[in-house]
Structure 1
């Protein structure tokens, strides 16, 4: 089992314990926390791909 999968399992359990379903925002934040940023961390699309 990958560490990412393990952390998602833990997150899901925590949300269940709180008696609520994970929202889109929760899911987005969970993915953001586990996905490593590409070079130029936090850059917007415009910064990563400047128009010629």
Structure 2
């Protein structure tokens, strides 16, 4: 389970910091793009783990 949540926690940790230097923070759909990235990472990891018969 940790293998699934650690990468997602890393992404959330980066975007949860209080700084203004990331250009995607000012994009109109930046919030949704980060959500899409996290969901994509989750799905890819689940598919990979299923193929390796780890879950």
Provide the TM-score with structure 1 as the length reference: 0.46
Provide the TM-score with structure 2 as the length reference: 0.44
Q: Which structure is richer in relative contact order (CA contacts within 8 A, separation 6 or more)?
A: 2
